[in-house]
Amino acid sequence: MRRTNSTLRRRRAADKVYVPKSARDNHYLIAEMPLTDKLIELVVGKVDLSLEQPYQKFYQKLAKLAFDVVEEFDIDHANFIANNRLVRVRNSDEQQVLHTEKQSFFFYSPNHNSTFKGYFDGAVRSNKVKFLFLATGDSLREDAGSFHQKVFNAVNIISKRIGLQASELKVRDHQHLTYDIFAREKGSRESVTHTFREISARYLHQGYKLEGEHTAITYAVVSVPMARRLLKGTDIDHNADKPYENLYTEITQAFTQSAKKHKLNHATIIANGMSPIVRYDEQARTIINGDIISLGYNPHDEAGEINSEWQGDKLVDTIRLVFFATDVDETHKTYGKFVNQVMQTIGSFADELNWKKDRDYMLMRLNQQLVRRV
């Protein structure tokens, strides 16, 4: 019995992750639906396409309907978006929204930001409409189940007031925890313990059972800045058509060896200047759209491989390493062991590159995502 208890304690210890206390937490939900003729008809009836901004009234009325519901549910931070851009959310003390051709970046602090705003162009018919709900407060992870349920209930009312049928609105629940993997080497000694339960299991533990079908994924994205020492360590022929091919080949080899050493077989290295997004996809497709690369993967598929997406003629500012968790990576209903394996892999990877851990950072964003229909 002692031996069994000792083994159990060791296994549970392997599931615990010690994260720097300075880690930044994000939690947000996006409700989205296609912008169909039916939706327009339900909200405003006919649209006069001869007008300079034919969709302005539709957007304004739909945003007003949504914000009225949001007020009723006492949600502090919400946005209405219809601009054909991918929504990104990042933690920042300074609240601002930046747009690129394909993306909208929402920077906010959960502790002191609060807005109700719409982002659309009345002259353009967007492919989708989205409602972005940002969690606020200083206990995002502990209050995540409550916030999810509040938003889900609000979206359900929004759907009914529009007049939609069941399941026409889809809700994506995103949670990030961002921190420097080498914070300890820089003198940050305080840490917080996490086990990273699967989202629905964590919500159940918090007293909120998710009804109906849902899909969930867990993955990590590690950002590696293109430090000068990386360039110095490789022979680069600037007269060649692909001067950085040797650089990326060496970095990819170090990445692959480190991942395999720590038994991670589902990963991708990206060095082509594109921003990765990760989606549940049974076909595991990679789709490139402008400056966005969409990495689809199936968490139920245990067979994996380590891929690379880089361009030898382009020197990027940041290399991104993406690790995907599968069902076999979930132990005791947590992903703590997976996160520790990622951190160990990055430690080995940094050693291979002679990285200065006490000076340079490698920023890890642990992502947990859940999708369900309303």
State the pLDDT at residue 140.
93
17 domain residue, yes or no: no
Sequence-ordered list of residues with C-beta below 8 angstroms from that of 272, at least 6 positions apart, any chain = 293, 309, 310, 311, 314, 316
- Separation between Cα atoms, residue 40 and residue 33, nearest integer Å: 12
| Least confident window among 40-44, 52-56, 227-231 | 227-231
Domain count of the fold of the chain = 2
Has residue 135 been placed in a domain?
yes
289 and 352 together in one domain: yes
Q: Provide the residue type at 41 as one letter.
A: E
Looking at the domain assignment, is residue 188 inside a domain? no
Banded model confidence at residue 98, pLDDT cuts 50, 70, 90: very high
157 and 225 in a single domain? The answer is no
| Per-residue tokens: 108 | 């906010």
Which one of 124, 151, 175 terminates a domain? 175
- On the question of pLDDT at 311 being above 80, the answer is yes
Tell me which residue of 204, 205, 201, 179 sits closest to 192, measured CA to CA. 179
Q: What is the mean pLDDT of residues 283-291?
A: 89
pLDDT in tens, 4-30: 565 555 556 678 999 999 999 999 999
Residues 166 and 222 in one domain: no
What's the pLDDT score for residue 215?
A: 93
Quick check: 50 pLDDT over 90? yes
Whole-number Cα distances in Å, 244 to 186, 230, 350? 30, 11, 19
The pLDDT of 184-192, averaged and rounded, is 93
Backbone angles phi, psi at 110, to 5 degrees: -60, -20
**pLDDT category of residue 229 using cuts at 50, 70 and 90:** confident
Residue pLDDT, tens place only, 167-176? 899 999 999 9
**63 and 128 assigned to the same domain:** yes
Query: Is residue 147 located within the same domain as residue 254?
Result: no
Q: Same domain for 46 and 120?
A: yes
β-pairing, 214-225 with 275-280?
unpaired
Confidence class for position 186, pLDDT limits 50, 70, 90: very high
Q: What pairs with residue 18 in β-bridges?
A: 193
Question: Do residues 168 and 274 both lie within one domain?
Answer: no
Ordered alpha helix ranges (H), the chain: 2-14, 37-43, 56-72, 144-162, 199-205, 228-232, 245-261, 336-352
The pTM for the full model equals 0.92
194 belongs to a structural domain: no
Given a cut of 80, is residue 70 above it in pLDDT?
yes
Domain-terminating residue out of 156, 175, 194: 175
User: Is there a single domain that holds both residue 307 and residue 160?
Assistant: no
Predicted pLDDT at 3? 57
Proportion of the chain above pLDDT 70, given as a percent: 96
Residue 130 falls within a domain, yes or no?
yes
* 262 belongs to a structural domain: yes
What was the pLDDT predicted at 9? 58
**Residues 160 and 260 occupy one common structural domain:** no
Has residue 273 been placed in a domain? Answer: yes
Q: Which helix (H) or strand (E) holds 292?
A: strand 292-297
Task: Note down the domain range covering 147.
Answer: 24-175
Rounded CA-CA distance 7/83 in Å is: 54
Residue 42 belongs to some domain of the structure:
yes
- Alpha-carbon gap, residue 52 to 321, rounded angstroms: 45
Tokens for 69, please give them: 């519901």
> What pLDDT, on the 0 to 100 scale, is given for residue 166?
87
The answer on 245 and 151 residing in a single domain is no
| 42/170 same-domain check | yes
State whether 265 and 344 are in the same domain.
Answer: yes
3-state secondary structure of 45: coil
What is the total residue count of the chain?
Answer: 374
Residue 333 pLDDT level (bands cut at 50, 70, 90):
confident
**Percentage above 90 pLDDT, the chain:** 81
**Among 141, 175, 209, where does a domain finish?**
175
Residue linked to tokens 């359900």: 156
